[in-house]
Amino acid sequence: MQRTVSSSPLAPSVKVKLINAGFHTAADLVDLLPLQLCQEAGISQEEANEVLQALRHDSRLCQERAAEGCITALELLHCEQSQGSLVTFSSELDAVLGGGVSVGKTTEICGTPGIGKTQLCIQLAVDVQIPVCFGGLGGKAVYIDTEGGFLVQRAAEMARAAAEHCALLAEDTEQRAALEDFTLEKILSNIFLIRCHDYVELLAETYLLPNLLQKCAEVKLVVIDSIAFPFRHDFEDFSQRTRLLNSLAQQLNQLANQQQTAVVLTNQMTTKVSNGQSKLVPALGESWGHAATEKLILHWEEDKRLASLYKSPRQMEATVQYQITGQGFRDASVTLELRPCDPPPSVSYKPHPPSPSASAPAWNCSKRPRVEAQHS
């Protein structure tokens, strides 16, 4: 059922070169980067990008067929491999996440106030636009802000830093040409902001998202910052809240899967008292705990900012340190910028963070230490 190169909607001259180089099906090509493909098949980088984009389109078809229940596990694997991941600009966190934030899935980022949830979301809204020839997704972002926390100055700082970072890496004419569309102005104009003031507005906007994304297929990231704020206020009927949240979770998972988009949600932490001990746990209740496919918890350990992968169906739980700099979200250990498409460094895996049912406090309850470690 895998599409063959000969049946793909590519220029005949490109098909001949691909077949002569030994590429017969989409599966033979999905793992390649544009540069590798142009070297191995003797095609231009522009043609290599077109080939890989066509495959991504095929991957969308794969997902539609998966929804109809007629796809093999092998095809699904190829689809997932062709989707790529959304880098965070922290190579250690990318490694923990298996290459970055998953496209086609929902990821929840939880943490105490000021830990950096919004900073990471803004960073992702910039990073999703990294051109394909630099190993990025070349996409756009929809940013639903329920707290009024999106700061355009921060987005501008991160956008400028990302553009400068790519400019330093540009090696050929294709990459230099791509930089013309990866400027501060272009990056900011590709982040579509939606401000929601309550849960009714949020539900309405979520309902409209599939239409929006169908019209703008370049959207590869939808952020909701935060999901908790509108649902933690003005709610007296908790069973109604649970019903609404369950339906919202279903819609967001479907959106991620069917539109091949990364959906990132932020959530607050709340104190839970159990057996006379209090601990910090993600807000919105236990039922919501199943909503997102992957869950990341940002927390303090003394003066260090840590990110713990808490729930993932494909990656081992692990904790890494990060820092927030003027340029954005970064590894704690390095000051030099890492190339987003470089292979992730090895990560020292730490024990699984305590489960919310453990008796000890699950996360550091302190909000922000008075002095944060300097990692510059």
List the single partner that 111 binds among ligand ATP, Mg ion, none, CB under 5 to 8 Å by kind: ligand ATP
116 sits near ligand ATP (criterion: CB under 6 A) = yes
Handedness of CA 69, 73, 78, 82 (dihedral sign): positive
| 117 near ligand ATP (CB under 6 A) | yes
Q: Which is nearer to ligand ATP, 49 or 267 (CB)?
A: 267
Contacts of 196 (CB under 8 A, 6+ apart): 144, 145, 146, 202, 205, 230
Task: Output the smallest distance, CB 267 to Mg ion, in A.
Answer: 11
* Binding partner at 69 among Mg ion, ligand ATP, none, C-beta below 5 to 8 Å by kind: none
Residues 87-126 that bind Mg ion (CB under 5 A): 117-118
Looking up tokens 């959906």, which residue turns up? 263
**DSSP character at residue 353:** P
Which residues from 215-274 bind ligand ATP, rule CB under 6 A? 268
Residue 99 interacts with, from ligand ATP, Mg ion, none (CB under 5-8 Å by kind) = none
Residue 111 binds to ligand ATP (criterion: CB under 6 A): yes
Q: Which of residues 135-194 bind ligand ATP (CB under 6 A)?
A: 147, 149, 154
- CA 255 to CA 161: how far, in whole Å? 30
* Closer residue to ligand ATP (CB): 85 or 226: 226
Q: What H or E segment, with its residue span, contains residue 142?
A: strand 140-145
By CB under 6 A, tell whether 82 contacts ligand ATP.
no
Residue 324 in contact with ligand ATP, rule: CB under 6 A: yes
Q: How many residues does the chain have?
A: 376
For 370, counting Cβ atoms within 10 Å of its Cβ (0-12 exposed, 13-18 middle, 19+ buried), the class is exposed
Is 103 one of the binding residues for ligand ATP (CB under 6 A)? no
107 binds ligand ATP (CB under 6 A): no
DSSP string for residues in 95-135: HHTTSSEETTSEEEEEE-TTSSHHHHHHHHHHHTTS-GGGT
**Residue 250 DSSP label:** H
In the complex, the residues that contact ligand ATP under the rule CB under 6 A are 111, 113-119, 147, 149, 154, 268, 324-326
In the complex, the residues that contact Mg ion under the rule CB under 5 A are 117-118, 149
